[in-house]
Structure 1
Amino acid sequence: HGDVAGYLQRLADAGMTARQTGPDAVTLEKAVPVHSLPGFDAGDVSVQDAGAQWAARLLDAQPGERILDACAAPGGKTGHILERADVILTAVDADVARLARVEENLNRLQLEATLVEGDAAQPETWWDGQPYDRILADVPCSASGVVRRNPDIKWLRRPDDIPQFAAQQAVMLEALWRLLAPGGTLLYATCSLFHEENDGQVRAFLARHTGDAERCPLPEPLSDGSLLPDADHDGFFYALLRKI
């Protein structure tokens, strides 16, 4: 809530040095406990990786639209979407404990959404039959883009994990595509660096949907969809697909 300049001043008043790193974002010079951030408990600010913040901007939900946030937990992107526009949002996650974290985050931000415990790959078990204008498909992945913060991933992943994730993603993408209204957009997102989960997955989907899907151009630095990790953010991949 508020603007970046105003929040930078609040941080300065609290003795915290920060710089603006995006249209809605600041980065602290030194990490601090979240509850010590000015206005955090009141919902004035959230903590989210700068790379993850692209999701709400690229989805670009408009007031009054029906939005689906698939695989929504822990709710950072859910809250960001709702902060940017007054929309009718459904947040789905298969893990009831993680879905509770979405509710906690939305309560702190004083925002509302319909929370559904369900498998995004099996919408027939929870979908109300009304198409969505925009869908965020933040799919399960190898998480290879977040190794800088979670180095154990390098040792825990096995070679056969990637094909398994890719197969799961393909099923989920097909299932969610059926829920999208004609003219609507689906934002496919991973925190992976692997081709099979990213551009390869999207190209395979487009090859199966030559008559009803097109890939929309993305702004720099995401022209090819990839955001490589650096000191300011994790690695992500995004592809915006329009139903035609």
Structure 2
Amino acid sequence: MRAKTCVVTGSSKGIGRGIAKRFGEEGCEVVVNYRTSPEAAEGTVDAIEASGGSAIAVQADVTDTDQVKQMRKEAHDAFGQVDVLVNNAGINQDVMFKEMTHEEWDVVLDVHLDGAFHCTQVFYDDLVDAEEGRLINISSIVGKGGNLGQANYATAKAGIFGFTRTLALELAREGTTANCVAPGFISTKMVERIPQKVKDRIQDDTPLGRFGTVEEVAEVVAFLASDRSSFITGEVLDVNGGKDL
């Protein structure tokens, strides 16, 4: 993977942080986006710079177009044109559907779907003008199989599949690819909060018998961002240990 300028939304922690760090290991210039965790974002920047990359932390709420436009300006001021956009920012508001409020529904769809819309539209010209532009969206196994108490999250993540495949068709004429990564259950703080008996059941239902790691997801994203994936577009790559087999 030649050095590229990469924007990773929601990259102050979790999977986003792992992706940003992996880009840094490749010598990339990385925009570490965050909404409410400046200290964590700066920690990601430090990790990227320690591994040989360059990075800046930029605060922006992806549900706000004006803030995303400002993030693009800061990215351009620091590094110039963006080659890779990773739409990773997301939240969850888990509750059984009967008790789910309209606000809990809206906020999850806003971050996942409106956020992907805003960021992709704002950085669209960058991706088209890049020598080998890459759009990579992070979805979830839940978007395929659903999950108790996550009607909002599952709907948003399923929507990312259609968004990715449509953008793949529209960007192809420009030589830019669009792909999606759908992680299974990955060892993050969100998964750590799951009751132990539920975690045991998930691992029992996973053919590889364990949770995935952030690094394993980041490796797939790095591949899709690289020149090695130049003939892959419109795909959903599962990183789930065989969970849906």
The TM-score normalised by the length of structure 1 is 0.52
Match of 1:193 in 2: 142
Q: Give the number of the structure whose residues are more often strand, by fraction.
A: 1
Separation (CA, whole Å) in 2 of partners of 1:163 and 1:192:
21
* Residues 191 and 235 in structure 1, CA contact (< 8 A), matched pair in contact too: no
Match of 1:202 in 2: 161
Separation (CA, whole Å) in 1 of partners of 2:61 and 2:92:
18
Separation (CA, whole Å) in 1 of partners of 2:178 and 2:84:
13
Structure 1 position 173 matched with structure 2 position 138: no
Match of 1:78 in 2: 20
**Does the C-alpha gap of structure 1 residues 201 and 191 become closer, same or farther in structure 2, counting only changes over 3 Å?**
closer
Structure 1 position 131 matched with structure 2 position 73: no
The TM-score normalised by the length of structure 2 is 0.51
* Residues 141 and 192 in structure 1, CA contact (< 8 A), matched pair in contact too: no
**Does the C-alpha gap of structure 1 residues 134 and 215 become closer, same or farther in structure 2, counting only changes over 3 Å?**
closer
**Does the C-alpha gap of structure 1 residues 136 and 78 become closer, same or farther in structure 2, counting only changes over 3 Å?**
same
Separation (CA, whole Å) in 2 of partners of 1:136 and 1:113:
15
Larger radius of gyration, structure 1 or 2? 1
- Two-structure CA RMSD over aligned residues (Å): 4.0
Identify unmatched segments of 5+ residues in structure 2. Answer: 144-153, 187-201, 204-209, 225-231, 235-245
Q: How does 1:9-158 map to 2 (within 5 A)?
A: 62-74=1-13, 75-83=17-25, 85-95=26-36, 96-103=38-45, 105-106=47-48, 112-121=54-63, 122-128=67-73, 129=76, 130-142=80-92, 158=100
Identify unmatched segments of 5+ residues in structure 1. Answer: 1-61, 144-152
- Secondary structure of the 1:119 match is coil
Structure 1 position 227 matched with structure 2 position 184: yes
How many residues are aligned here?
Answer: 166
Q: Give the number of the structure whose residues are more often helix, by fraction.
A: 2
* Residues 139 and 158 in structure 2, CA contact (< 8 A), matched pair in contact too: no
% identical aligned pairs: 7
* Residues 137 and 179 in structure 2, CA contact (< 8 A), matched pair in contact too: no
| CA deviation after TM superposition for structure 1 residue 181, in Å | 1.5
Q: Deviations over 1:182-222 (max 9, x none)?
A: 1412211145714412232331565588633687677xxx7
